[in-house]
Structures are given as structure tokens and as C-alpha cells.
Amino acid sequence: MKIICIGRNYADHAKEMNSSLPSVPMFFMKADTSLLRPGTPFFYPSFSSNIHYECELVVKINRVGKHISERFAHKYYSEIGLGIDLTARDLQEKCKEKGHPWEIAKSFEGSAPISKTFIDKSELQLENIQFRLEQNGTEVQKGTSADMIFTIDVLIAYISQFMTLKKGDLIFTGTPSGVGPIAINDVLIGYIGNRKMFEVKVK
């Protein structure tokens, strides 16, 4: 399986990063080894001193498809989960400066905690899925799919022009504003609506 992450899909986050708004989706990838198994702690790596959380809705692809048109994209996913696109911001800044690929900042071990359960999309109002992240009991991020620049269907159509999507692939759909650093001993809890989706301890 592969993990595809969308950059700058919320205007307020692009603004806080001093980034321009994209006219087409921008995506990058994480290795399957970046998945953090639900219930296991995230170990803060020694190569970074500025790891940020980015809480994101995660779409699970349910069948093989390529060149999927936007109007049929809804057939390619049935469940939505929640995850964190952990980002070594210090390494990412250096990569950006040099124009280098940024896998070392995005695709490291454990950099993709995801929820154990995914919610059937029939239980959600897809155009307004509300989600939030708490860090040590304080709400630090709050978002809704209503604020996505590119909808899930647009993302699937776009990505599938370039690569075949397969059953089990995950799409991290971008983060709203409020990203910030994590620290050892933090507890990060994510919710979709009032449903607790994950709890990640940082060690």
C-alpha cells in the first residue's frame, strides 16, 4: 500500500506557512513504514528538534483504479479515518531552501499515526466533516472538509492520472491551520465530530 499526502489543501494553513494557494493539488508520499500502529507510542527521533503535528482526514481507497473521473471518484472509497502527518519542520525548511525532495522530513518511521477505526462515509456528511486535535487536553487544531480547496473526489481524480490507486492506499487530505510542535510526554488525541479516533503518546 502507499500513503499519499496532500499539501496546502486549506487556505488558512497555506497562509500560516506563507505559502501561495495551489491551482492544482500538490501531493507527496510517505513510505508504508511511516504508519504508526494504533496504540503504539511515537518515539521522538534524534535527527529533528522541531517535529510538528498536522491533523488530517484520511481516505481509504477500496478498489483499484486509474484515470478515475471526478464524477466516479466516490465509488473508490467508503471509509474515512483520521491521522497525523508528522513533519520534521526543521528538515523540511532545509529541503525547501535547497529545492530538495522532502521525504526525510515527512516519511520517517512512525510519521503517520492513523486511527484504528475508519468511519463508513454513509455515517458522515462528506461536505462538512468536522475534526479536531487536542494536545495535552487543549484543542490546537479544528477543521472541516468544507474548507478543503480540493474535495476528496477532485483529489482522487487528480492523483489517479499519475498513479494507479489500489485497495488499502491512504490519502491524507491536508491540514487546517494551527500546526505546531510536539514534545516528549505529549498526548495527542484526535476526533471526528465527538468520536475519539486516536490517542498518540510521544516518548
Asked if residue 175 binds Zn ion (CB under 5 A), the reply is yes
Per residue in 123-149, is it b (16+ CB within 10 Å) or e — as a string? ebebeebbbbbbbeeeebbebbbeebb
Residue 184 falls in which region: left (phi positive, over 0), alpha (psi -120 to 50) or beta: beta
- Alpha carbon distance 87, 11 (integer Å): 19
Asked if residue 54 binds Zn ion (CB under 5 A), the reply is yes
Site for Zn ion in 138-167 (CB under 5 A): none
Query: How many residues interact with Zn ion (rule CB under 5 A)?
Result: 3
Report in angstroms how near the CB of residue 118 gets to Zn ion at its nearest: 18
Report in angstroms how near the CB of residue 72 gets to Zn ion at its nearest: 26
Please count the CA atoms within 13 angstroms of the CA of 127 that sit on its side-chain side: 0
Residue 107 vs 160, nearer CB to Zn ion: 107
Residue 65 vs 112, nearer CB to Zn ion: 112
Asked if residue 4 binds Zn ion (CB under 5 A), the reply is no
* DSSP codes of every residue in 152-199: HHHHHHHHHHHS-B-TT-EEE----S--EE--TT-EEEEEETTEEEEE
Site for Zn ion in 57-86 (CB under 5 A): 85
Asked if residue 30 binds Zn ion (CB under 5 A), the reply is no
Report in angstroms how near the CB of residue 69 gets to Zn ion at its nearest: 26
Interface ranges with Zn ion (CB under 5 A)? 54, 85, 175
